[in-house]
Structure formats: C-alpha cells, structure tokens
A and B are shown apart, each in its own frame.
Chain A
Amino acid sequence: MASDYDVIVIGAGTGGYVAAIRAAQLGLKTAVVEKQKALGGTCLLWGCIPTKALLEHAHALKIVQHAKEWGLAIGPSVSIDMNQVQTRKDRIVTGLTKGVEFLFKKNKIDWLKGTARLTGNGGVDVFEGEKQTLKARKEIIVATGSSPRSVPGVEIDGKRIITSDEAIHLREIPKSVAIMGSGAVGVEFASIFRRFGSEVTILELLPRLVPVEDDAVSAELEKSFKKQGITSHTGAKVTGARATADGADLDVELADGRAAHLHADYLLVATGRGPVTTGLNAEGVGLQMEKGYVKVDAQYRTNVPGISAIGDVITLGGPGHPQLAHVSSAEGIIAAERIAGQEARPLNYDHVPGCTYCDPEIGSVGLTEREAKARGYDVRVGTFPFGVLGRAKMAGETEGFVKIVADKKYDELLGVHMIGLRSTELVAEATAALRLESTVEELIRTIHAHPTMAEAIGEAAHAVHGAAIHL
C-alpha cells in the first residue's frame, strides 16, 4: 500500500468519512485512519443509529401496548425480547457500516486500521501491530470525535454506572434507571427505558429538561414525561455516586436544597461528551488547544499549516460548537472542498437543525424565543398545537406543537421549534426556510399538504401574524 496521500483523514465518523469521500470525489488521493473495527464512528456504532433503532423498537412496543385502541387483537400480555432487539439493532448498524466500506471502495479511499499519531510536516504514523508511516502531501484532517464524559464525583465503571456506549448494549430491562443529564442522550434513553418498562428518574442540573431547546418545548416534554411516569428532578445536583453489586447509589441535592438518596439498577451518565485526542500527539506538533479541543478557524484550519480539524473534536473559540453528526459532515465537506481549491463558505451555526428522538420527539432550528430576545430582536411568536390536526389524531399522537419565533421589524423567521410526532422530519422545512432567509409571510403562502403534520408549520406562521385558521 502506498504511503503517500494528498489527504489523510484521522477518524472515520460522520465527519471524517464524509470529508474523505468529498476529497476523493474532487480527485484527491485519500486515506482514512480508524482504530475501530468498523467505519462510521460514534454516530453509526454507538450514537444516532443504534439509539434510534432502539427508539423504533420502543415505538413498536407502544403501538402494541395500545393494540386495543387500534382494534388489534394481540395475546393477553405483551412483552419485548431484548435479545431480538439487540440482534435487529446490530443488523442495522452492521448494514450501515458496510455501506461506508462500500463507499470507500467506490471512491478508492484507503482505510488504514490503527491509531494515528501526528509526526509533523504532513507525517502520520499508524500503529496497529507494526507501525506504518504515512505522508500527506496536501492536508491532514483531524476528525477524532468525542466520547462520553462524566462529571467530578461520578466515576464510570461501565457496569452499573454507565454511559450511552454501554446502554445501547443492555440485554436486560432494568427495573430502575437513574439518568444524569437531560440533553438529547438523557431524554432519549429515558424514553427507551420507560417504554420498555423501567422506572426512570432524570436528574438535571439546570432548571429545565432539554436545556438547549425553547422554554416552551422543555415545559411540554416535562409534562409529557410526567404523564408517562418518568420522574424528572430539575435543578438537581448529583453530589456523589457509588456502584454496588446490583446497582448504583446516588447522593442528590434537590432544587429546594434537600439532600436525597437514590438507588437504581443503573446510573446512566449523559452529561456531555469530551474531545478524543489520546495518542494523537496534538501538542507535540504544536496544535493550539482550548480545554482539550482543537482550535480551528471558520474554514477548519488549525494553527499548524497542513492540518485541519472538524467535528466533535474542534472548537471555533467561544462556547457551544454543536456536537452533531450532520454538523461534522457539513464541516468535512467544507474542509475537503477548501483543500481541493474550491471556495469555502462558512457554516451558519444559527441554522443547524437539532433533532431529539425522545417521545414525543423534538425538532428545532434557529433561535429560541429567549435567545432572540437576548439578541435584541423585537420578537413575535406563533404557536399551533399538533393535536388539532387530523393527521395527529389518526396516529393517536396529539401532544406537542410548532412554535415560530420571528422578528417583527422585517418579519424575519428566526427560529422554529417543535415537539410532537414527526418533528424530527418537519424541521427540514424550517431549516430550508431559514437558510433561504424566509419571512414568516413566505411560510404562510407556502402550501402545506393536507392531511400532514406539516400543516402545523403553516398554521403557526399564521399565528405569528395574528391568528391560525384552524384554531
């Protein structure tokens, strides 16, 4: 195998493999270094794909649980076979990782198995068994991603105090699960475990669930979770956690200052993810780092010429670079095109859609009402409940709403937030509208097919201007 490439990508997650494909499409000889046994990174192996597969299982169970209402005759009791769940989930994951392998072959991208170490001047050493020495003629793209990160006082043992990496492989249905953190990972697993039959308790440090979402979305989710029997403690601090033989003991300081002790079969730590740079020798080649993240500019160049970085491992300076598969992919494409000599247009991070697959699911893009006000906009909002729609009634899913945040001055669309059935799909329309710099009136004049959940978007737009039609 030749050891000289135009581009060497380190990491085959959704950032790295997409960057590699784009680079290869543009005629660059490209290699990807990946230490895992399969391609696809966190998204395919432990993240988006397996968790959403589990959520689909939970949804299937939900339908069956409500069989009577649907007029379906199913035996006296309903249960779920976790072995079959895992088998089906693994089949989906394997299928998709093989798909990436196929794309590599098709684009003549070399996959070098092993751990990469930067050696300077375009050099990369790959360790697995023996050392291979590679050289990048044009650029190295660091796309090493992130891994679950705990907080002080809570040590992950991988058995009883676990992260999402372990949770996706559980073959038993725990009687009880405590979940630290109510970001996407926390609330998705809350939905999965609750549907499968576990007692679920969420412990969130901040005053509301899904803290990055609009306040109204948080409130709606909290209401729905309560109805489903999920216990949520917001403003609650976990001060200590100990794994025991059959579970985990937690010390919690509740919002009102009371101390509480909790026991659960498992403690799932979903408090965030941190950068992965182990063995990379980032400092050794002089990469500027910020709190462990690789610092890049808007074109994903590091301070070292010839080294770019994308995805979960980067910071653009300032807070909150979103750790999302689709953001990494978008960054990978921009970096690859820039390396190939094309014009690179910076991403607008205000237009990144976010999808959370809890039940009811959440889709959002753009500014929340709170953020819009903080930026000084003269904010107008319009909200329309899904429950009014025929499509929602048919599906038996009448929770949630679409909320549009707009600027009064120019009727500018600033954000669209939804919670409820198909919200993760509906957000696509809102994302396109934001990207195209739509006004609210354009959304009003856009025909929304009937009967669909999307009608709620048009109606919420009407609501911004005064009144929805069907309310």
Chain B
Amino acid sequence: MPQMGESIAEGTIVRWIKKVGDKVDRDEPLFEISTDKVDAEIPSPAAGVVSEIRVKEGETVPVNSIVAVIGPASAGADAPAAQAISPGKAAEPKTPPAPAVKAPEPPTPTPQADGSPTAAAKPTPEPPPAPPPPKPAPDQEPKPATESTEDLIRQRSSPLVRKIAKEHNVDISQLHGTGIAGRVTKNDILGFLDKGAPAPPPPRPATPAPSGPTFKPGALDSVEKMSPMRKRIAEHMVLSRRTSAHVHSVFEVNFSRVAQAREKHKAEFERAGAKLTYLSFIVKAAVDALRAVPVVNASVDDDSIVYHKEINIGIAVALDWGLIVPVIKHADEKNLLGLSRAIADLANRARTKQLKPEDVQGGTFTITNPGVFGALFGMPIINQPQVAIVGVGNVEKRPVVIDDAIAIRPMAYLAIGYDHRIVDGAVADEFMSHVKKTLESWDPNVV
C-alpha cells in the first residue's frame, strides 16, 4: 500500500485491475485505492506477472503493507525476494530489478494520520469533505502541545535533514524544528533519532463521527458499507459543523457584464484551449476580495488567527462516487486564462482519478457550485480549517428592477458560509460586496 501523502496512514483497495496470473507492464495500472485524501489508480512498480494478491477488494490496510507480489514474467508464481516500493514514492515507482511488490518495514510512522489532534488545526486541508476527525487521545501526540500552526505550515528542513530522514524512514513532519521559522535542522533530527524509535501511529478511533440515533434496519432495507471517501465526507462535515460558528449570507449578483465579457472572449479562449466559464470570473473576483479582506483567507489555531500568505482556492467537484475539492494553488498569481485552465484541469483529473495528494491540500478558501444542479443558492459547510466558503447559485435570466424599470438580466445568488469565530457579519458582507462589485463592473473588453 503506497504512502500517498505524509498524513495518510492507510488505504482501501477498491478494485484490482489485474488479477493473479495477469501480465503487467511497469507503470500499468495495477489496482485502485481509496484513501483519506484521494482515490487513485496505482501503477505497477515493475513489469512481470501478478503471482499473488494478498489484500482483497474492500479491505483497508496500513500504508507500506504488502498487497501483492509480482513475479518474473516467465516463472510466474514463486517470486523469490519481494521488492520494496519505497514509501512516498508510490506515485512514481522505480523499477526494481527483481519485480515484486512489497513494502519496506518498518512502516514510516505517520502519527498525524487521520485523527491527530493537530490535524484539525493543520492548514493543509483535506479535500473538503474529508479531513480528519478530531482525535480523542492526545497522549501519544509526538508534537509539543505548544506548537503553533505557524510551525506546522513551515515543514522546512535542509538537504541534510531530508537525506537523514530518508535513510531512517523518518517523517519530517513529525519533528519539531528549532531552526528559523521552524526549520527542522540536523540537530533536531539527530536528537529525534537518539531518542529512539518514535511511537507507533496512534490507533484510529473506531467511529469518530458522533453516532446518530440507533436503529435496526428493516428486512427490506439494503445495507451498504460507506466508501472511504463517503466516510471522510461524513466525518468532515460533522467536524466542520462542530468546529465553526457557521453563519450564511446571500448576495444577488448581476452577471450582465460578465456575460458580455464571456461572449466576447469565449472563442478566443477556446482557441487557447480553455473554457471561459462564469466560475473563472467568480474565482478571480474572490481572489481580489480575499486580498482586500485577508481575514477571510485565514484559519483559526487555538486562540490565534493565522493569515495565509498564499491564496489557494479549492473548487468543489462533484463525482459520481462522492465529492472532492482540488485546489488552485497561488490563484492570485493567475490571470483569467490561467484560472480557467486550472479549473478545467483539476476537474478533469478529479473525474479520472488522476489527482495527486498535493492537489487537494493547502486550500485557503473554497468555492462550490450548486447552481450547476439548478439550485438557486446553497448554504455550504466550511471546508476546515478554512473560515469561509462561497456557494454559487444558478445563473439565470430574471426580471430585475433597474432605474425603476423592469429589465431582464442574467442573475445569480452567491451565498457565503463563514466562521463567525473570526469573521463578523460586516466583514463577510464587505468581502461579498467586493466580489459583487468586481463582477458587476467587469469591463467586457478585459479578460
């Protein structure tokens, strides 16, 4: 089971693409997994014949467990020494000379996996509906309780530290860095190694989501286990509701000028291989507003407010099997064309299960688009540890009053869900007014 990210402790085999006896080329999809962060097809680390499958579909195993053995193409079954997939490299496996899929022992300790108490404060959000539930047992937490979010953001280290970490299979994110801005230094990691092997990852809480009322399924009901993604979504949604003081505010936005801009430049964008959608304009407007009202681009860490320097916009993408929120990194550095491309690329990769763990991390603000399913507006739940989310309603022509006359304009409702712990109503409305103003005064000639 490959390590798909530093904070992922386990994964579920959803489907075996190859069966025992099947020939497989290097980098050919071998099986499909579902983890806390992403669902992904895992390419084979080597060419050969699948001689043994050890983990059945639907089973969940810790990362670095052996899930299958690939034998030499000719010999078939008895693969001798199993070959390791090095942790963290699963996405781009090396070709081992002796082909066989195994994982190295001891497993990289990843105590932050789901459920670490710091996880809720960690500003690398999981795909929204998917970050970890709060952990009930902080005793085994390897990080000092005083560590701030700032320290966690900066998992900085040095080339030497990374080299040492690699050799000793240490997850650098576990270390407390004493260097400038929390940089993990040589002394930090050597001190950590001196103290002996780190504690094993704490056991996952069995059912972190608060249990609802108990009931017995009736004879005619059909019972189906939640997929890992569904479970994550469930946990995350409940966690968010419990964490943030949700308040919603709805604005109506006149999209006339954006519609003009879109009509005017659609063809041009198509020639450049991009699709100019309303969403691109909304992301752009949101980026500008986040810059103007930075507390909306923030996180809460205990009694501190962490203002994010980067503006990374998560875009909720509905999938047949759930929901995922890939992130447009450095959205503030992109123009409309760049944003359009990024949105299309992320959505496309989300639907084809090609997202990498980093694609769904680091978001600082989220936009969701219930309008595409016809909703007038939605009341979205915040994607922790962010503090605001905007839901875009359906853009449709409506009669509106302009200068005491009734006119027909493309209108939409934009609803913001914000965390009243740090964002007050006036601030949220200032942010939304900024978005509204940007969209309504868009110069149709400029994209």
Contact = CB atoms under 8 A, between A and B. Distances in A.
Contacts of A441: 159
B53 interface: no
Give the size range of B's interface with the partner: 10 to 19
B158 interface: yes
Interface residues of A, number: 11
A437 B180 contact: no
Of A413, A437, A438, A441, chain B has the most CB atoms within 10 Å of the CB of A437
B37 to A, nearest CB: 30
Contacts of B163: 410-412, 439
Given A345-B180, A437-B185, A437-B186, A410 B167 contact: yes
The 5 closest A-B pairs by CB, nearest first: A437-B158, A437-B160, A439-B159, A442-B159, A410-B163
Given A411-B163, A413-B160, 4 more contacts: A410-B160, A410-B164, A437-B158, A437-B161
Interface of B: 158-161, 163-164, 167, 180, 185-186
Interface string A429-440: 000000011110
Given A437-B185, A437-B186, A412 B160 contact: yes
B163 to A, nearest CB: 5
Interface in A407-466: 410-413, 436-439, 441-442
A438 B159 contact: yes
Chain B facing A: main interface SS? helix
A84 B161 CA distance: 54
A471 B186 CA distance: 33
B180 A436 contact: no
B17 to A, nearest CB: 37
Contacts of B186: 412, 437
A26 to B, nearest CB: 18
17 contacts: A345-B180, A410-B163, A410-B164, A410-B167, A411-B160, A412-B163, A412-B186, A413-B160, A436-B158, A437-B161, A437-B185, A437-B186, A438-B159, A438-B160, A439-B159, A439-B160, A442-B159
Nearest to A411: B163
A344 to B, nearest CB: 12
Chain A facing B: main interface SS? loop
Interface of A: 345, 410-413, 436-439, 441-442
A410 B164 CA distance: 6
Nearest to A433: B159
Contacts of A436: 158-159
Nearest to A440: B159
Nearest to A445: B159
Contacts of B158: 436-438
Contacts of B164: 410
Contacts of B161: 437
Contacts of A412: 160, 163, 186
A345 B158 CA distance: 18
A190 to B, nearest CB: 38
A441 to B, nearest CB: 8
Nearest to B178: A345
A413 B158 CA distance: 12
B147 to A, nearest CB: 16
A85 B158 CA distance: 47
Contacts of B180: 345
A410 B170 CA distance: 14
Contacts of A345: 180
A192 B444 CA distance: 73
Contacts of B160: 410-413, 437-439
A439 B159 CA distance: 6
Nearest to A442: B159
Contacts of A413: 160
A147 to B, nearest CB: 36
Contacts of B167: 410
Of B163, B180, B186, chain A has the most CB atoms within 10 Å of the CB of B163
A412 B161 CA distance: 10
A439 B164 CA distance: 10
Nearest to B162: A439
B185 to A, nearest CB: 7
A132 B159 CA distance: 54
A438 B158 CA distance: 7
A412 B185 CA distance: 13
A442 B180 CA distance: 20
Contacts of B185: 437
A465 B167 CA distance: 18
A41 to B, nearest CB: 29
Contacts of A410: 160, 163-164, 167
A411 B167 CA distance: 12
A348 B158 CA distance: 16
Nearest to A443: B159
Nearest to B164: A410
Nearest to B158: A437
B186 to A, nearest CB: 5
A88 B279 CA distance: 69
Nearest to B180: A345
B189 to A, nearest CB: 10
A396 to B, nearest CB: 37
A279 B214 CA distance: 86
A58 to B, nearest CB: 40
B190 to A, nearest CB: 10
